[in-house]
Every structure is written in C-alpha cells, then in structure tokens.
Amino acid sequence: MVAPVSERHRLTIRSVDTDPRARQLVAGAEVLGLPEVDRVQVADVVHLDGDLSSDELQLLHRVLVDPLLQTGSWDAPAGRAVEIALLPGVTDPGADAVHHAADQLDLTVDFAATGLRIEFDDAIGDADIDTIVTRLVANPIIERWAHGVIEPQPPGTDAAPTAASTVAIRGLDDDALAAVDAERSLSLDPEELRAVRDHFEASGREPTDAELETLAQTWSEHCAHKTFRAVITADGDDGTMERIPLLTQLRHCTDEIDAPFVRSAFVGNAGVVEFAKGTTIAIKAETHNHPSAVEPFGGANTGVGGVIRDVLGIAHRPIAVTDVLCFGPADLPMTELPEGALHPRRIRDGVVDGVADYGNKIGLPTVAGAILYDRAYTTNPLVFAGCVGTAPSRALHDGPNVGDRVLVLGGATGRDGIRGATFSSATMNATTGEVAGASVQIGDPIVEKLLIDALVGAEDLYSAITDCGAGGLSSAIGEMAEGVGADVDLAAVPRKYPGLEPWEVWLSEAQERMVIAVAPRNVSAIQQRCDRVGVDCADVGVFTGDGRLLVRLGDERIVDLDLEFLHDGRPQRHLPAEMPQPNRSEPIGRTVDDPIATLHALLRHPNIASKAATIHRYDHEIRGTTVVRPLVGAAGDGPADGVVLAEPLDQHGIAIGIGVNPWYGLHDPEAMAFAAVDEAMRNVVAVGGDPDAVALLDNFSWGDPRRPSTLGELVAAVDGCCAAAFTFNAPFVSGKDSLNNEYVGGDGERHAVPPTLVITAVAHVPDIDRCVTPDLVEPGNVLMVVGQTSVEFAGSHLDLVHGAPDDPGVAPAPDPDAAGRYRRLHEAIQAGLIVSCHDVSEGGLAVAIAEMCIAGRLGATIESLPHADQAVALFAESCGRLVVEVEERSVPALQRILSDAATRLGVVNDHGTLELPDLDPVPIGDLADSFDRRDGLGAIGGVA
C-alpha cells in the first residue's frame, strides 16, 4: 500500500464530449451581446479531506467518474478559469453522495464539497468573464466565486449555543414594535405585534428569540392564510357590506355540494377523495414563488419536494407531479431588467431544471401543467407545484395521542430555509436577494425517495403525520400539538453541522423531513424501517396533553408557549375591498385583416406554442401508468388537454386538467375564475373524465391584499370560484393562496403579478380504454364544435398578438349550460361516438382546429363557422366549447345525445391542409413549424 498523501484532495471531472452546459453558456453569452465567447469548457469539482492513499483515491476515482462519458484528474488544473462553490451551510447533495460512496468503500472522508469550474480561452477579457459569471452562472444567494481555484469552506465548527436570547418587546409603542419586526423580518401586522407584546406583558416576561420567531411563522400569511380568514368590508351596488371570510366561502361551497366521493377537504396537508371503492386519492398544489425569484433552481426544486411531502403527509404514496410556471418574456432586453432581478430566461431555465431534477430523480412522472409568459411576471415568477397520491382506503389518522413520541424522519437540519414562511409572505424589492439567502432551501430528492420508502406501508405504526415545510419544526410540531401539547428536546435533532443556534434548529426549513406521532411500543419498528432504507430517525420528544408547547435544549427552555395563544391568539384582519366594475354588457368585436397570418402568430406566441422542449425535460412515463401523455399524436408533438393515469387499477383511472388565464382577470376577475374552473373541467372531460366525479384545487397568486382594489379582485375571483363549483357540482378539496407577489423597483414603483388563479381538476375515469385525445384520426370524419361562440375578446390572445383597443369589450362569460353539455359529451365518449376531442381555449377555434391537425398530421376542410363574424368565429375565446371528431354515421346519435348543442364545422381531409372558408389552404407542415417555435430553453443559465 502506498503511503497516504495530503489531507486536502481535489478531483476535476470533465465530459469526454462538449459539455451541454458549455453550449448553454455560449448561447447565453450571445444573448448578452458577447458573440465572441465561443470557446468555454465546464467541469465539475469534488473537494474532500481525508488521509487517503493514492490507491484509495483511484478507488474513489472509479466510483465518481464514468469512464464512458467523463475524464477525471486529481492534479491541480491550470489555465484561465472561474470556480464557483456553495456558501457554507448550503445543502450539497453531491457532497452527500461522495460521503455515501466513501462509506460504501470503507474509506474515511472527513469533509466533502462540490463546485463548478468554467474555463475560458485567452481571447476573452476579464470584464466579459465577470459578466458571464454574474449574469449566467453564479447566484450570490447560495454561491461564491473566484478567478482561478477556490477552496471550499466548511459550515463551521463552533459549539452550538445552549441558551435562547430574549427580545425586549414589553412596553414598546407601535414604532418600536415596527423596528423589531423589521430587524427580525417577522412580517407581522401592527395589531399582531401588539397582541404579542400584550401576551408577554401579561406573562410577566420577555419572549425568547425562538418564541418570537415561532409566532411569526405560525401567524404568517403563508401559514395562517390571514387574508383568506379576514373580515372583509366590500363596497358594491348595495353599498358597503361585510363579506364572509374567503376561506369560509370555499369551505361552505364544498359542504353544500356534499359530493359523496370527498373523504377530506381543507383539513391536513392535502384533500382526499375516493372515486373507486377501495382506493383513496390525495391531491394538493402549492406555490413556491418568492424563493424561485431569488434562487430559481432551489425554489422550484424544493417546491416540488414540498408538495410531494404534503401528499405523503396525508399517508398516501405520491404517484405524479404537476407544474404551472409563469415567467417574464424570455427575450426581455437586459436594459429593461429591473434592478436586483434575475433575467426571465435564467429564472425559467433554473425553474425547469429544478422541477426536472426533483421529479426525475425521485421517480415520479411530471404529467400536467402550463407555462405562461407576461412582462408582469418578470420580477415575480410564479411556480405552482402539484402532486397526486393514492392509498388503500382506510380511516384517516386522528392523532396525536397523549404519550405518543415525536419522531423526526429524513434529512438533517441546517441553516437552509430559515424564515422561509415570513419571506414568502413579504413584498420583494431590489435588495431581497441580498437579505433572503437563508430563506432558500436546496433539495435532495434521493433522501425524499428513501423517506417515502420508509413511510409507505408504515401507516399502522403512527397516529399522526405531517411534513416539515414552512416554519420547519416550529410549524410541524406546533400544528400537531394543537389541543394536545408537546415537550421537545432540540439536542436530539440531527444537525448537518455544528454551530446552529437553538432558534435556528427550531425554525430551519431544511428539506426532506417528516414528523410523526408514534406510540412508544412502535418506535423501534419505525426505527428499523428507517435503518433499512438509510434515513435518520430521531425521537425528539413527547405529546404531553398539557396544552403547552415546550421546547428545550437539554434543561434550557427555548420555547414555552400556550398553544391556544399560538394558534388562536392572532387578531383577525379587517380589510376593505374595492370591488371591480367590469364591462359585461357592451361586446366589442375585432377586425382581422389577415386571418392566416394571425393564426400563425398565435401558434408562435410563447403561451400557445409547443412546450415540448420543457416537457421532454421531464419523465412523464416513469412508473408506466400514464395512459394519456402531455404530448400526443402521430409525431408525439400535439398538446393533450388533460392527462390520464391508470390508477386506481382495474380499468379505472384519474384525469388531471389545468385551468389558468390571468389576462381575463385584468378585465373581469370573477369571470376569469369561472373560466379557469371551466377550462380545467373541459380538460378532464375531453380525455374521458366523468364530470360528475371531479375534485378541484385552487391556487391564488395575487398582489398586496392590503390595497383595496387588489383585494376586491381577489374577492370577486372567490365569488367566481364558488359560482363555478356550484354550476359544475365540483367541490374544492384543497387550496393555497400566495399573496404579496409584488416587487418594489429601485424607482419605488410597485410591480404586481396579474391576478393569477390556477385551478387543478382531478376526475374519475371510469374506463381507461375509452380515453380520447386531440389528434385527428381518419379522413372523412366529421368535425363539430360543442358550445356557443360569442363576441368575447377582452383578455384574449388575439389582443396579445395584435394589441387591445382602448375599450376591449367583455371577457368570456360563464356558460350556464356547460355542465349539462359536459355530462352529455361524457356519455357520448363512453358510448364510443367520439374519435378525438379538443377543448377551445387560448387563441379560439382556429388554434384548436390547427392543433388537432398538427397532432394527427391530417388536414381539415371547414365548411361553415359557428358565428357570422369571421374574427369572432375564429379567434374569440368563449367558454364551454370543444371540437369533436366523429364518424359520419355517428353524427345523428351524437346530436341526439347533445340535444343539438353540436354544430357541424366540416370534415377531416387527407390533403395535408387546413382549409377555412374564403381563405387560402394552409399546409399542416407550415402550421406545425409555427407551433414548434423553439422557446430557446437552455439558452441562458442552467449552469448555476
């Protein structure tokens, strides 16, 4: 054996062929106006400490370097380069993999870290290198960088403090309380700060830092939904009146619908339904907006991980993921980028990378979603992540019980994600990225996969379960202990590194952790399951029954709070709402000089154009249950309406559909909300879902609700949601609101997102063999449009392409007959009368027919249009409409079922052209070329 070499070792790993990240950097440099940057090399770097011999290093080399695709060297690199390393304490999954490999090889590695090396040739100046690194690669929120080589910094070796600090708030006036709020980033209202002060004045002591932070997280907008629980005074035609709290409205709506398949709604981590006897389905959708704005990869990555844990936290096995993403324009000039914001391309690439990384690595298909672009999302990207899970039908857990042990399972605790709940509840500005670094988490999907393996099948061993998300242990244990009480010892919580203060351990939002309540007799069984898969299991305390939350570090008290005050002591918000006054009576048409050119422009619009470049980043078929995929048709490039999963089994399945159109909300928020529900319903019905067995999720992303006009839009949107739910008899079972999605620029101006409501519909598919897709199937078949077309253009994509007039007219109105029509259409699908089906949404009828032609690579001869005005017939976006393909012989039967609600359009042809009345034929290949407009995914970023 050769003698050990130095303790610090460095392995540089390069691709045998050109690294795709290098190509992304070259493309990004060109966008930055640096076309001469055409030769860049990217390498991965592994740092490790340990007394390792050369033979042992070679052993590690064989494990860490793929000889077919990579080369590796332990020698110090030379040449011009910049190296990027993670900041101390940031989660480093690559380093964890190195430690795991070393353990498997029985080698001792004391410390490991990973980084990135970017090598430039001598023709590139230092200033250009700095521009490339700062604009395209390094994110100061989580990384540091330097020219040449960089040495990793361990997160610290200091001993952890053993006492909590106190924060003086007794006797403070409003100004002094506001100063404490700002100093600690609590994001509490003045009334809430007074309530905290008064509580501790009555207790005769000052709060500890951990107690104050616990209250701030629990009372945050993110956790407490205090706007949706507020008393709202709204103006209206009948004067000023007090409104029922928004969350109460949604819950009452679900209660009144009283759908027999709902097992649990608005309780716990996710909604639960039972469409087919013997199997329950858990559904949840979350937002991760603010984190994705400052660290796109980590924000989206942990958004996916968090919503997966929500489903796991209702004792269901996750089976699929969804995502809806909203970005600023990918071609936004750098000169128009607000101060302190990342470029939309970089945000988009990082978010897509983050979604793909988590879903693909954890082994779940990403099956449904949407991508929207608008200037208003430039500084406020929106990331909606959803998850669906299944479980054998059983009673939901009703613990914890007094005497149950508090077990924390999964990843270790570090400084990542501290104050994430309050950060997500605040308005961002140009300095947000500089101060919010600790609010960003980095995920580790492999650990979460092991956590799933440990918990699925262990349902009989615990009495309660929740995920450790916003607020960390403070929220997870604090919520579980409500009405019971808990005594927790932080000394038992596994840490990633030493030096954490007690309040940091308690508040950290480190990922991949779950909390369960376990009877003492079952603790060893849980421990054995965790040992088998290789995840931590820590017994940190007990549920006491005394109604208090006691958190200790050994014998030192860190938190001692009355749980009734923690959960019910927050003053209810009272907010004024200024209700919108939309135009609903004066429809205004449009003049379209060149309908064919307009159709091409619509197909090229980034909101409508193919999302294949993104969809192919995700594995949407893993697990082998995806019956209807996101892309369908002859060439696998046609957009599906909804997707279908073959779970539950025995011919049953579930359909998932998405509805979102914020541009309607700029004109009529109530109609926008109804339209979003309608679109989600159409998407599931179009693929074979039963409209009488649909559960809905709502996700609101809004601006600052303390502005009366913004709150009025939110109130109107909730009205629209409830009206639509009653119309379709489809209950909401879970939801999430993300407010304060605003950015204060360097000029002091506020930039808010448009009112963005995402509706997810999950429907029962009674027979997966009866599913249909939008691709045209057979020449000679008849095309029919189901539903009515009206003069409705406000918020339309026609206006996004051509520009809206000063008075845009009316937004698409609710269709009161849609629910009955969807039931009859479902009957026709089950009877085998429908050959293909596609909903009419963005871009109107012309886009819907073009997409069907593209998907099937067949033409269509349209003989008549559903409205006398050509522009209205082709481009209006009226709700409640679908295009169906039927065999000629089935037309009479379909019309009988639909009660003449279907209008004949024309026939499928084999000419390879789309033929519209009075217009020249359009080759389907030309339409496909416009639709397949590459969105440049990966052109900027993707390296950081």
Q: Which residues carry out catalysis?
A: 222, 288
d(CA 794, CA 807): 9
Element (H, E) at 733: strand 732-738
H-assigned helices in 605-735: 612-615, 662-665, 669-685, 708-728
d(CA 884, CA 869): 22
Which string of b and e fits 441-479 if b means at least 16 CB within 10 Å? bbbbbbbbbbbbbbbbebeebbbbbbbbbbbbbbbbbbb
* 8 Å CB contact between 763 and 728: no
* 8 Å CB contact between 137 and 940: no
* 8 Å CB contact between 400 and 450: no
Q: What angle do CA 475, 480, 484 make, to 5 degrees?
A: 125
Which residues 6+ apart lie within 8 Å of 533 measured at CB? 450, 451, 453, 454
In 508-596, where do the E strands start and end?
513-518, 536-543, 548-553, 556-562, 574-577
Which residues 6+ apart lie within 8 Å of 417 measured at CB? 302, 438, 439, 440, 441, 472, 508, 509, 510, 511
H-assigned helices in 159-288: 174-183, 190-203, 209-218, 221-224, 246-257
d(CA 311, CA 309): 5
What is the number of alpha carbons within 13 Å of residue 328 lying toward its C-beta? 26
Q: What angle do CA 217, 222, 226 make, to 5 degrees?
A: 95
Ramachandran angles phi, psi of 432, nearest 5°: -55, -45
Residue type, 717: A
- Spatial CA neighbour of 474 closest among 722, 276, 217, 715: 217
Q: Name the token pair of 696.
A: 């809905």
Paired with 539 in beta bridges are 407
* 8 Å CB contact between 909 and 849: no
Which residues 6+ apart lie within 8 Å of 680 measured at CB? 657, 658, 659, 696, 759, 760, 761
Paired with 518 in beta bridges are 405
Element (H, E) at 924: helix 924-931
* 8 Å CB contact between 171 and 206: no
Q: Name the token pair of 710.
A: 């913004």
